[in-house]
Chains A and B, each alone.
Chain A
């Protein structure tokens, strides 16, 4: 088991090695749903929740599969569990809070194809995190994802009013902005002890 403190796991996942801006995980929703701050916030919340649940599940699966000596099934098990977790969360929210369900809309099922979730499960097993570290890692990664999404949305709202050259409209200018954000986040590198 790795010896990192919980706080350093959290800061590392949220800022230093931000999932979106340093590992390029979850780029699709990052580009797709970052047009408005309100939707970005909701998407971030949903992703964070699914991350937390699937991180705990992945921890249990990893140890169960190690116990029966079948680590090659890990990837298949992870993806199935993530897909069913999202489904479960969807049904749960629909039952408990129809208002929230309507607000999240299409974003919930989309989370299944978010590689940040699978990446989280894979990274935590690769790094041999303990249970509490997994939870901290999931919270940090979720917070980092939400932060990146909201920052991007804020910039894009301003960008809509700016005069962008015809060739750069759409993905190209969004990528340049993401690149600059990514460089800014490199400034956090000293935080990881």
Chain B
């Protein structure tokens, strides 16, 4: 057992960047690709997922001593499904347009392996405080990733960001970016960028120095 407890900020930053659920762990792909054809949709999906993650993580953590080991997965699923139903009805009440744009993908948050994964791997073994921080970090990381994807796809595919027109009228939008294929390409692009940065850092570390451009 490691004696050193990770600090609160560390717990948060971990999810946001170092173990980013989408870019590093490649979890929860379905909503990531499906609803990110605009930045607003991506943001809404990210916030909804963060809420469910936060509630389920804290509840699982609070109940971790009471849930029998054999039925824990089923219990987690029930907890998650309850909060997803709440989110579904809340979004329908707040904005009908958004509800229509996200469609069945709000309900599909249940099947997001990220949430079940955090409940099983983290919340069931840690105190509520840590579980809340973990959920906030992971949720923020997930939202960030959705925004990155949604932003790129909306800028290239529709020539706008959050509905604001960015380019002059002569701009020919890349329709493919808001179609399903564009989702795959954009995510592949981000992964390439992140892989490239990581490999450069690893090479620099292997060469002995901290991040220094070694004559390249």
Contacts and interface: CB of A to CB of B under 8 A. Distances in A.
A77 to B, nearest CB: 9
Interface residues of A, number: 38
Contacts of B77: 79-80, 83
A25 B113 CA distance: 12
B8 interface: no
A182 B187 CA distance: 14
Contacts, number: 107
Contact of B107 (A24, A122, A166): A122
Given A24-B183, A113-B111, A175 B188 contact: yes
B191 interface: yes
A124 B113 CA distance: 22
From DSSP, what is the main secondary structure of chain B's interface residues?
A: helix
Interface string B72-86: 001001100110110
B43 to A, nearest CB: 18
Nearest to B110: A79
A25 B192 contact: no
Given A28-B113, A72-B85, A79-B110, A21 B191 contact: no
Nearest to A182: B181
B162 interface: no
A191 interface: no
Nearest to A180: B181
Q: Which size bracket describes the interface of B in this complex? A: 35 or more
A21 B185 CA distance: 12
A21 B29 contact: no
B30 A179 contact: no
B58 to A, nearest CB: 19
A72 to B, nearest CB: 6
A168 interface: yes
Given A122-B107, A182-B184, A113 B191 contact: no
A83 B81 CA distance: 13
A76 B88 CA distance: 12
A135 to B, nearest CB: 20
Given A23-B34, A175-B191, A179-B181, A75 B29 contact: no
Contacts of B81: 75-76, 79
Contacts of A170: 195
B30 A25 contact: yes
A80 B74 contact: yes
A117 to B, nearest CB: 8
B26 interface: yes
A133 B171 CA distance: 43
Contacts of A114: 111
A62 to B, nearest CB: 13
Interface of A: 21-28, 31, 72, 75-76, 79-80, 83, 113-115, 118-119, 122-123, 126, 166-168, 170-173, 175-176, 178-180, 182-183, 186
30 contacts: A22-B180, A23-B34, A24-B29, A25-B108, A28-B30, A72-B85, A75-B81, A75-B85, A76-B82, A79-B77, A79-B111, A80-B74, A113-B113, A114-B111, A115-B108, A115-B111, A118-B111, A119-B104, A122-B108, A126-B103, A167-B195, A171-B26, A172-B188, A173-B188, A175-B184, A175-B185, A175-B187, A175-B188, A176-B184, A186-B179
Closest 10 CB pairs of A and B: A179-B184, A115-B111, A175-B188, A27-B29, A183-B181, A24-B33, A24-B34, A182-B181, A172-B191, A122-B104
Given A23-B34, A175-B191, A179-B184, 10 more contacts: A24-B180, A27-B33, A31-B26, A80-B74, A118-B107, A168-B195, A172-B195, A176-B184, A179-B181, A179-B188
